[in-house]
Structure 1
Amino acid sequence: MEKKGERLTYSFIRELAASYSTPLYIYDLETVQRQIDKIRSKMHPSIKLFYSMKANPNPTLVQRIYQTGVNIELCSLLELAAAQTAGVAAERMMYLGPGKSAEEIRTIMDQGVRYFVAESLQELELIEQIAQEKRKTVPIGVRINPEVAVRGARLQMGGKARQFGIDEGQFPDVLRKLQVLPHLRLCGIHTYHGTRILSANTIAENIRYILSFAERIIEMYGVKLNFVGIGGGFGIPYFAGEKELDLDELGQASYGTVEQFLQKQPETEILMESGRYLVAEAGAYVAQVRYTKRSQGVHFAVTDGGTHHHAAAGGSGNAFRKNFPIVAYVPEQRAEQEYELAGPLCTPNDLIGKKVRLPELHPGDYIAVLKSGAYGLTASPALFLSHRLPREVLLERGKVTLIRDVDEYIIPKLRKESNTD
Structure 2
Amino acid sequence: MEKARPVHAPMSQFPSRDGCLLVGGVPLPLLSARAGGTPFYAYDRGLIADRIAGLKDALPEAVHLHYAIKANPMPAVVDYISARTNGLDVASLGELQLAMDTGIEPDHISFAGPGKTDMELRAATACGVIVNAESEGEIERLAAIGNELGIRPALSIRVNPDFELKSSGMKMGGGAKPFGIDAERIPAALKKVESLDLDWRGFHIFSGSQNLRQEAIIEAQKKTLDLACRLADHASTPLRWLNMGGGFGIPYFPGDTRLDLKPISEHLFELTGILKRRLPEATPVIELGRYLVGESGIYVCEVVDRKESRGEIFLVTNGGLHHHLAASGNFGQVIRKNYPVAIGTRMNESRTETVNIVGPLCTPLDIIAAKVDLPRARTGDLIVVFQSGAYGLSASPQYFLSHPAIREMLV
Superposed pair shares fold, TM > 0.5? yes
Correspondence 1:255 to 2:281: no
CA distance in structure 2 between the aligned counterparts of 1:333 and 1:112, rounded to whole angstroms: 55
Which residue number corresponds to residue 256 of structure 2?
242
What is the TM-score when the length of structure 2 is the normalising length?
0.91
Displacement after TM superposition at 1:9 (Å): 4.7
* CA deviation after TM superposition for structure 1 residue 309, in Å: 0.4
In the TM superposition, what is the alpha-carbon distance from 1:222 to its structure 2 partner?
A: 4.2
Q: Do residues 213 (structure 1) and 227 (structure 2) align?
A: yes
Partner of 1:408: none
User: Which amino acid is 2:250 matched to?
Assistant: I
Classify the secondary structure of the residue corresponding to 1:374.
coil
Pairwise CA RMSD: 1.8
Q: Distance in 2 between matches of 1:222 and 1:124?
A: 17
1:4 deviates by 2.3
- Superposed CA offset, 1:216-245 (max 9, x none): 233354441110110101101111111211
2:318 corresponds, among 294, 300, 304, to 304
- Letter aligned with residue 5 of structure 1: S
SS in structure 2 of the partner of residue 50 of structure 1:
strand
Q: State the percentage of identical aligned residues.
A: 36
Other structure's SS at 1:94 match? strand
Matched, 1:129 2:140: no
Q: Which amino acid aligns with 1:170?
A: R
CA pair 15-70 structure 1, distance change in 2 beyond 3 A: same
Distance 2:365 2:230 in 1: 50
Deviation (angstroms), 1:365? 0.7
SS at match of 2:369: strand
The residue that corresponds to 1:187 in the other structure is 201
Question: Unpaired runs of 5+ in structure 1?
Answer: 396-421
Deviation at 1:135, TM superposition (A): 3.0
Instruction: Give yes or no for the alignment of 1:82 onto 2:98.
Output: yes
Q: Residue 5 of structure 1 corresponds to which residue in structure 2?
A: 16
Larger mean Cα displacement after TM superposition, 91-100 or 370-379: 91-100
Change (3 A) 1:320 1:225: same
Deviation at 1:200, TM superposition (A): 1.4
Name the structure 2 match of 1:363.
379
Q: Which runs of 5+ in 2 are unaligned?
A: 1-10
For 2:4, the equivalent position in structure 1 comes to none
CA contact (8 A) 1:72 1:94 kept: yes
**For residues 4-48 of structure 1, what are the alpha-carbon distances to aligned partners after superposition, in whole Å with 9 as ceiling and x for unaligned?**
215825992112222321001110011111111121111211111
Match for 2:305 among 291, 307, 313? 291
Q: Is the 8 A contact 2:164 2:220 kept in 1?
A: no
Give the partner amino acid of 2:16: G
Contact 2:172-2:206 at 8 Å conserved across structures: yes
**Equivalent AA in structure 2 for residue 140 of structure 1:** L
Conserved in 1, the CA contact under 8 Å of 2:153 and 2:199? Answer: yes
Aligned mates of 1:117, 1:168 — CA distance in 2:
15
Q: Does 1:376 align with 2:392?
A: yes
Q: Aligned in 2, Cα 1:22/1:267: closer, same or farther, shift over 3 Å?
A: same
Per the alignment, residue 60 of structure 1 pairs with 76
Instruction: Report the TM-score, using the length of structure 1 for normalisation.
Output: 0.89
CA contact (8 A) 2:163 2:174 kept: yes
Partner deviation per Cα, 1:131-157 (whole Å, 9 max, x = no partner): 222233223110000011221111100
- Distance apart, 1:89 and its partner CA: 3.0
- Return the match for 2:40 from 24, 46, 70: 24
Superposed displacement of residue 314, structure 1: 0.2
Q: CA deviation at 1:186?
A: 2.3
Residues 328 and 369, structure 2, Cα contact 8 Å, conserved in 1: yes
After TM superposition, give the deviation of residue 246 of structure 1 in Å: 0.6
Task: Give 1:381 shift.
Answer: 0.7
Change (3 A) 1:127 1:17: same
User: Does the 8 A contact of 2:66 with 2:86 survive in 1?
Assistant: yes
CA offset at residue 71 of structure 1?
Answer: 1.3
Q: Which amino acid aligns with 2:46?
A: E
Provide closer, same or farther for how the CA distance between residues 229 and 333 of structure 1 changes in structure 2, counting only shifts above 3 A.
Answer: closer
SS at match of 1:8: strand
Residue equivalent to 1:15 = 30
Matched, 1:351 2:351: no
Equivalent residues of 1:338, 1:358 under 8 A apart = yes
For 1:146-189, what per-residue CA distance to the aligned partner results, in whole angstroms no more than 9, with x for missing partners?
01122111110001211100000111220232243x21232211
- Gap change, CA 1:160 and 1:354, over 3 Å in 2: same
Name the aligned partner's letter for residue 333 of structure 2: N
